[in-house]
């Protein structure tokens, strides 16, 4: 009886771990694909060539879900990820997702980027005020400084349009939590004037 119970437990545990492993592996493959697409596109060269004028807005075509649209670099937590369009499960498995209809990073307005706390944004809670965040899009590179962090309850109003360029990074809160986390961590950043850029 004890052996049978042990066998069932071990088998169930192995199946659960397999499910988790497959999910992470698929996410890693999607992430690699997004990185390859980003590198292959002309975006990288454009980013290197243009020192973006912060606040300039442009009329942009809506991107397809899952399309790589930016690169997000946060030196203090060693994060360097390609941001994909959309925040559905499939996109969040591949990388941080840009919330559709929010501004492009660097454009006037609020650009919202979200990611899972157990994957790409696992170190987001270590960000402090004054830390640097860098985004690269086809239009150029923008350096941001973290100006705020707050925690809101899941489902509560949290995202608002802004007149000036704003970057909002969101993930689940608490970051280290077993089970679906009940709150959301929001990091707000503002572009750094050219003279102060790092």
| Residues that bind another protein in the complex, under the rule CB under 8 A | 2-3, 5-17, 19-20, 23-24, 86-88, 92, 97, 99-102, 110, 112, 114-118, 121, 128-129, 147-164, 170-172, 177-181, 184, 186, 188, 190
- Nearest-angstrom CA–CA distance, 176 and 161: 29
Please name the helix (run of DSSP H) or strand (run of DSSP E) that holds residue 111, with its range, or none: strand 110-114
Least distance in Å: CB of 44 to another protein? 26
- Nearest-angstrom CA–CA distance, 140 and 116: 26
- Nearest-angstrom CA–CA distance, 97 and 41: 18
Q: Which is nearer to another protein, 134 or 172 (CB)?
A: 172
- Nearest-angstrom CA–CA distance, 83 and 32: 12
Q: Which is nearer to another protein, 18 or 49 (CB)?
A: 18
Least distance in Å: CB of 135 to another protein? 16
Q: Which is nearer to another protein, 47 or 114 (CB)?
A: 114
Contact 99, 84 (CB under 8 A): no
Q: Which is nearer to another protein, 96 or 140 (CB)?
A: 96
Q: Which is nearer to another protein, 115 or 134 (CB)?
A: 115
Encoded tokens for 132: 């640097």
* DSSP for 7-59, written as a single string: HHHHHHHHHHHHHHHHHHHHHHHHHHHHHHHHHHSTHHHHHHH----TT----
């Amino acid at each position: 009886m004890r052996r049978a119970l042990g066998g069932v437990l071990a088998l169930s545990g192995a199946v659960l771990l397999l499910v988790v492993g497959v999910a992470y592996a698929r996410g890693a493959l999607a992430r690699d694909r997004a990185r390859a697409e980003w590198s292959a596109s002309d975006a990288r060269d454009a980013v290197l060539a243009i020192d973006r004028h912060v606040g300039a807005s442009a009329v942009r075509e809506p991107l397809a879900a899952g399309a790589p649209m930016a690169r997000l670099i946060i030196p203090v937590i060693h994060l360097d990820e390609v941001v994909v369009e959309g925040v559905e499960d499939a996109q969040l498995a591949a990388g941080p997702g840009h919330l559709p209809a929010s501004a492009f990073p660097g454009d006037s307005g609020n650009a919202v980027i979200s990611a899972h706390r157990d994957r790409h944004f696992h170190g987001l809670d270590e960000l402090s005020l004054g830390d640097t965040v860098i985004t690269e899009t086809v239009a150029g590179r923008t350096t941001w400084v973290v100006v705020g962090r707050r925690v809101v309850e899941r489902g509560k109003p949290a995202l608002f349009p802004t007149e000036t360029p704003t970057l909002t990074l969101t993930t689940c809160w608490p970051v280290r939590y077993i089970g679906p986390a009940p709150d959301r961590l929001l990091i707000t950043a503002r572009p750094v004037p050219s003279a102060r850029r790092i």
